[in-house]
Amino acid sequence: MSHSDSISISSGFDSGNIAVLGRDGTTFDLAIVKDHESDFYQWFHFRLSGAKGVPVTLRIGNAAGAAYPDGWKDYRACCSADRQVWRRVPTDYADGALTIRVTPDADSVWLAYFAPYSMERHHDLVARIAGAPGVSHERLGATLDGQDIDLLTIGEGPKTVWLYARQHPGESMAEWWMEGALERLTDPHDAVARSLRQRATFHIVPNMNPDGSRRGHLRTNAAGVNLNREWHEPTPERSPEVLHVLARMDRTGVDFAMDVHGDEAIPYVFIAGFEGIPNWTEEQGRLYHLFRDTLARRCPDFQTRRGYPIAAKGKANLSMSTNQLANRFGCVAATLEMPFKDNADLPDAAHGWSPERSKRLGAECLGALHEILDDLPAKR
């Protein structure tokens, strides 16, 4: 038996996604599997075993049909031997195929669209943060697969802040961001955190889409539904995750909200606002821009030059959470986007955009919020 015969690819684990269509020696023909009941796909996560020291070519032949094919330009896949440190490996996109070339330095390596954030790590995060002084945990309800929708409540101040992430499960950088934000917010030695906890009450949902996360989806839940198009009218059958979270928001009110995401194509960190909502006020807009500009001043990884087009007056899509919350509560709301690629303003050849940078951005967003918190009018 040749050494290449012992090489294998598998994805039968939390957030795994790949199909092996064929192989020729050390060249594998692969395909990303669509989200269940959906045509969305782009997330991949698989294990390559038995190839230590062997150059392997991994060809994802259906890349052109992915949800965001522009995301493949200048993209490099993530690879790890220990699932702790993720490095970028040579990746090319041509003729509709994404080709990854890797020579593993270990018997098993994992490859993924971005460094995964597993449901087990999610449970560890929730358990660790819930055990910190002054933190309460609540199960808001169940997903369609029967998983828990976790809510962490921190602080005792009059301002009401909601942070929620990973409506799109393949955007795993969003939960890395959450880990960084939660670690800072519960740090007893951090003066910003102490001040925030005194001045605001934080309601935090680290993962809005546990089912899609575990299933290895890019964008949808167990029913193939994009949760960020459900906020106008969530239902138990399609979007219980949004239904439970929005019901709690209606009880608490919202003064500031941030929805954390990743963008496949744009190689920058940016936020999107709610300019087109019917109930727009100039004061809301002023406070949104104050937060945006404060974050830009504080954090070199964040910029304001590039982002999404701004909706025309009255034309905002109210099925999206940021628009719905800003319109519903008169609050300041923002959608934060991080790159799957690298941050073109501050490129890192080894890691690209990374879990570590996502975590630090989470902490930095709290610093920006701390600066503007007194400007926010408390609704309740």
Would you please indicate which residues are annotated as catalytic (active-site) residues?
A: 337
Handedness of CA 170, 229, 263, 99 (dihedral sign): positive
In whole angstroms, give the CA distance from residue 73 to residue 169.
22
Two tokens at 294?
């404060």
Lateral strand order in the sheet of 270-272: 135-142, 148-155, 200-205, 159-165, 256-263, 332-339, 270-272
| Residue 149: C-alpha distances to residues 44, 123, 152, 205, 354 (Å) | 24, 11, 10, 8, 26
CB atoms within 10 A of CB 360: 17
Closest CA to 8 of 41, 43, 44, 54: 54
In whole angstroms, give the CA distance from residue 69 to residue 258.
27
Closest CA to 287 of 376, 360, 196: 376
CB 201 within 8 A of CB 159: yes
